[in-house]
Structure 1
Amino acid sequence: MPDPRRAHDTIAAIATPPGDGGVGIIRLSGVSSRSIAARMFRPARPSFTDFTPYTLHYGRIVASDGAVLDDVLVAFMPGPGSYTGEDVVEINCHGGRAVLAAVLEETLRQGARLAERGEFTYRAFMHGRLDLTQAEAVAEMIHAPSRSALHLAQAKLSGLLGRRITELRSGLESLRARLAVAVDFPEDEVECLAPGELAGDAARIRAEIDALLGAVDRSRTWREGALVVLAGRVNAGKSSLMNALLGHDRAIVTDQPGTTRDYLEESLNLDGLLVRLVDTAGMRPCLADDSGHEPIDAVETAGMHMGQKLMDRADLVLLLADGTAPLDAATLETAAKLSPGRALAVLTKQDLPGFDPSIRAAPGLETVTVSSTTGHGLDALCVRIRARILENAGQPDPDELAPNARQAAALGQAAEELRLLEADAVAGVPYDLLSVRLETACATLSSITGEITSQEVLDAIFDAFCIGK
């Protein structure tokens, strides 16, 4: 977290991702950003006299020794009407690493210092340009895995969640004021707050908090992606199917049982829905069986246990079975444990002789036939995976507010305080003690928007940002 003693420094950083690209941006923020840019910039137009706010100016960036570093476009955004609330300059360079490094080094020579992680957004928060929910939404937008997740982050970036939290806190503050009157003037009947009325008002606000918490589970799939686990007996074709779905070789495929000893995870985008596809260790008996396979070792056993844990957590389990061989006991036993609503049977090796399309992994499990070699059935499988996940997760509501984990934890704490307040009010606990619960609930809600937030929380939030944002 930036040192408060350096809060008035002018900072600079590369604001675009690492690597080569068509355009790269150097961002400066602080009182000296304009003068630093002016010392480096050589305008292409002779009539140029100064930076016009919110206008792109074409020219060159020149080092202090006179060397031309790059042809650029420079924009000046004066505070407080900028992202950080301070004077901001953005230098649009060519996107090569050497170019960006050279221009950044020149800004540092001219008096800027290198920005720390999240320092631009931290300054926006400190200057009141963003509340804490909006600052977190910036990071959520950057890391959004799908368009639906992007929409959820945009709703928070617009300030909707912050305003909703403020409304809830205002309702509690109103209750606190009425409770204070009841404490200070117990004989005054004008503003007397009956315990039942207090409990009822607290319950109403708690119900609104619970509604926000309900959105956390509903939006989880869209924010984090759905966990889809490939399970089945060794050599059922799990690794081959994973490679085929990804379009490249990610998992090692051999005829030797137990090749996959740990789990492999890759992401797959199914028409805007992020799927976290996991290939697990194949199931087989721990002792040598009639197929002649050797007993498995401790590493593979641990992999099988991990696979079972992943299946328990999965949004959808793809239970694979070799369509050229009779169903084995391990597959049937696994199928019996799976809920039809969160499992899909996949009959593999459709292209091989002896494939029997009548095989079903278990009664009640929908079955899709595929060939990882020819690609037969892969499109239909992707459609069914997406449809099955949506049956449980549902389509996201573009207007729904979905708190993140930190915000949900604070909302849960506030709701618990209100629940205890309701019980205490009915039990006749004195009003001055009830006010403590209200005060705690209000402070907890304030921590969500950043009005009352510890430095440790701010450190954790902004240290997760990249440098340059």
Structure 2
Amino acid sequence: MLDPRLSQDTIAAIATPPGDGGVGIIRISGTSSLSIAAALFRAASSTFTALQPYHLHYGHILDSTGNELDDVLCAYMPGPNSYTGEDVVEINCHGGRAVLTAILQEALSHGARLAERGEFTYRAFMNGRLDLSQAEAVVEMIHAPTKAAMHLAQVKLSGLLGNKISELRAQLEYLRAQLAVAVDFPDDEIECLSPEALVSTSAQVRKEIEELLSAVDRTRAWREGALVVLAGRVNAGKSSLMNALLGRNRAIVTDQPGTTRDYLEESINLDGLNIRLADTAGIRETDDAIEAAGLEKGRELMDQADLVLLLADCTSPLTEDTLNTAGILAADKTLAVLNKSDLDGFDATHGAPLTDSGFETIEISAKAGTAIDLLCSRIRERILGGEGQPDPDELAPNARQATVLAEAASELLALEQDTAKSIPYDLLSVRLETACTILSGITGEIASNDVLNAIFDSFCIGK
């Protein structure tokens, strides 16, 4: 089946999120954009003659019977100097769903086709306005959970990652040329690349690739947010802590054990770091099938968590349930929270078994709000591992790009090992060609339709 994104149809879509809003945008791209806009738009000014490039024109959109649909601002951006590289028209109207749908339907009735997911950005990529790394950065910008994540996406959107990959490929292409000379003129007295120089350059490129890969883990929490799971026995105060961290009553808090039978999830922002909080079911033996399923889900979340807050009620010695839970948790991904410091029976020494097992501990009162700010600071520090805000020029590949980079680094390492074994240059050149081809998958010079579809299908319609 022909991919509709490969066609030259004029496409249209609502470019703003679903729902009601103050302003909405209809985007049209393709050779018929201007004629469609001319058929729909009536300027309010008596001196208007035609849509001028890169100007906002005030007027009305008319339906097929000549009735006004809405007051709008209309902009025309001729290709190739537009987002898609084609003629583009954007209609800014009121953001109600009925208004947007009515205007879109009029555009479709005049010859436009409804855009596929990511088709506007796909056309920008195919028309050379963006490389593939920049196209991916567009969707990362849209879904950025924090300002830091937005900045990391912006660095890639500016083309810095694509430029870096092009520089690395250029070094490898130079090596390929030198190897080709050595293979084609083996008996001529032509100065060619020595094995030592080949290994040196390959190792330098691989080192730079590995530096890019190191940024993936270093910036992951900024780009994707982090999962923090609240765990502990029933009535340890998990729900109270959830509410204290959120600053509102999200979880039900009672003296009755087992109130939380499933898990609750909410998000908070800790000084620019997006945190997903998960309040899990209290740990205890149970015959209740629903509660047992909740406990199993809690264990799965603990395995996935970037940090587990293990709550302990320190008004009495730690229970066997708490100690058993501690036994399955890694100390480097756990913060032991000694709760209920506001009560007379609180004794921090009850938490000694956790300290002895290597867990960092912190004393709080979730109900009274004592030391919650300190806890938030420690959560943030533990997740970031001492790293501050990302460097302004940090290049942070996404998961797909990291996989590609790792494959290229592996191929270069194999090249260096083969060189040490005195493998012939014509065979070594195959390694170099493979590494270059792999790297081109980041910028899109060589990319399969499956890869392109997977990337652009992750976009929303209208972008």
Look up the equivalent residue of 1:60 and give its one-letter code.
H
CA distance in 2, matches of 1:219, 1:17: 28
Question: 1:263–1:183: structure 2 CA closer, same or farther, 3 Å change rule?
Answer: farther
Contact 2:338 2:364 (8 Å CA) reproduced: yes
Question: 1:26–1:204: structure 2 CA closer, same or farther, 3 Å change rule?
Answer: same
Which residue in 1 is equivalent to 2:365?
Answer: 370
Contact 1:221 1:393 (8 Å CA) reproduced: no
CA distance in 1, matches of 2:218, 2:430: 33
Contact 1:215 1:402 (8 Å CA) reproduced: yes
User: Deviations along 1:115-167, whole A, 9 cap, x unmatched?
Assistant: 11000000000000000000000000000011111110000000000000011
- TM-score computed with the length of structure 2 as normaliser: 0.93
Q: Are residue 324 (structure 1) and residue 319 (structure 2) matched?
A: no
Which residue in 2 is equivalent to 1:404?
Answer: 398
Between the two proteins, the alignment pairs up a number of residues equal to 459
Q: C-alpha displacement at 1:460, in angstroms?
A: 0.3
CA distance in 2, matches of 1:182, 1:302: 66
Question: 1:401–1:331: structure 2 CA closer, same or farther, 3 Å change rule?
Answer: same
User: Deviations along 1:248-306, whole A, 9 cap, x unmatched?
Assistant: 4444444443443444332211111011212223233x4xxxxxxxx445664554455
Which residue in 2 is equivalent to 1:24?
Answer: 24
Q: C-alpha displacement at 1:82, in angstroms?
A: 0.3
Look up the equivalent residue of 1:12 and give its one-letter code.
A
Moved more, 120-129 or 36-45: 36-45
Q: Secondary structure at the match of 1:83?
A: coil
Q: Secondary structure at the match of 2:94?
A: strand
Moved more, 174-183 or 387-396: 387-396
CA distance in 1, matches of 2:147, 2:228: 19
CA distance in 2, matches of 1:379, 1:5: 51
Which residue in 1 is equivalent to 2:129?
Answer: 129
What does residue range 303-452 of structure 1 map to in structure 2 within 5 Å? 303-335=294-326, 341-352=332-343, 354-356=345-347, 359-360=350-351, 362-363=354-355, 365-372=360-367, 374-452=368-446
CA distance in 1, matches of 2:133, 2:221: 20
Question: 1:366–1:349: structure 2 CA closer, same or farther, 3 Å change rule?
Answer: closer
Contact 1:319 1:344 (8 Å CA) reproduced: yes
Question: 1:343–1:393: structure 2 CA closer, same or farther, 3 Å change rule?
Answer: farther
Moved more, 307-316 or 46-55: 307-316
Q: Are residue 458 (structure 1) and residue 452 (structure 2) matched?
A: yes
Question: 1:228–1:312: structure 2 CA closer, same or farther, 3 Å change rule?
Answer: same
CA distance in 2, matches of 1:26, 1:149: 27
Q: C-alpha displacement at 1:172, in angstroms?
A: 0.7
Contact 1:181 1:191 (8 Å CA) reproduced: no
Question: 1:353–1:450: structure 2 CA closer, same or farther, 3 Å change rule?
Answer: same
What does residue range 158-177 of structure 1 map to in structure 2 within 5 Å? 158-177=158-177
Look up the equivalent residue of 2:184 and give its one-letter code.
D
Question: 1:2–1:74: structure 2 CA closer, same or farther, 3 Å change rule?
Answer: farther
Give the fraction of aligned pairs with identical amino acids, expressed as a percent: 69
Which residue in 2 is equivalent to 1:292?
Answer: none
Q: C-alpha displacement at 1:357, in angstroms?
A: 5.6
Contact 2:10 2:31 (8 Å CA) reproduced: yes
Moved more, 320-329 or 152-161: 320-329
Look up the equivalent residue of 2:443 and give its one-letter code.
T
Contact 1:178 1:191 (8 Å CA) reproduced: no
CA distance in 1, matches of 2:224, 2:282: 26
Q: C-alpha displacement at 1:330, in angstroms?
A: 3.2
Contact 2:362 2:375 (8 Å CA) reproduced: no
Q: Secondary structure at the match of 1:73?
A: strand
Q: Secondary structure at the match of 1:360?
A: helix
Question: 1:2–1:140: structure 2 CA closer, same or farther, 3 Å change rule?
Answer: farther
Moved more, 342-351 or 223-232: 342-351
Moved more, 40-49 or 239-248: 239-248
CA distance in 2, matches of 1:314, 1:13: 38
Which residue in 2 is equivalent to 1:240?
Answer: 240
CA distance in 1, matches of 2:198, 2:293: 54
Contact 1:360 1:367 (8 Å CA) reproduced: no
Q: Secondary structure at the match of 1:21?
A: coil
User: Deviations along 1:170-211, whole A, 9 cap, x unmatched?
Assistant: 111111111111111112332332223222221111111111
CA distance in 2, matches of 1:41, 1:305: 59
Which residue in 2 is equivalent to 1:101?
Answer: 101
Moved more, 86-95 or 234-243: 234-243
Q: Secondary structure at the match of 2:336?
A: strand
Output the aligned Cα RMSD.
2.2
Contact 1:2 1:119 (8 Å CA) reproduced: no
Contact 1:228 1:315 (8 Å CA) reproduced: yes
CA distance in 1, matches of 2:239, 2:8: 55
Question: 1:189–1:228: structure 2 CA closer, same or farther, 3 Å change rule?
Answer: farther
Which residue in 2 is equivalent to 1:179?
Answer: 179
User: Deviations along 1:52-106, whole A, 9 cap, x unmatched?
Assistant: 1111101111111011100000111110000000011110001111111111111
Q: Secondary structure at the match of 1:460?
A: helix
Contact 1:203 1:422 (8 Å CA) reproduced: yes
CA distance in 1, matches of 2:91, 2:432: 49
CA distance in 2, matches of 1:237, 1:386: 21
Which residue in 2 is equivalent to 1:91?
Answer: 91
Any gaps of 5 or more consecutive residues in structure 2? Answer: none
Q: Secondary structure at the match of 1:199?
A: helix
- TM-score computed with the length of structure 1 as normaliser: 0.92
Q: Are residue 62 (structure 1) and residue 56 (structure 2) matched?
A: no
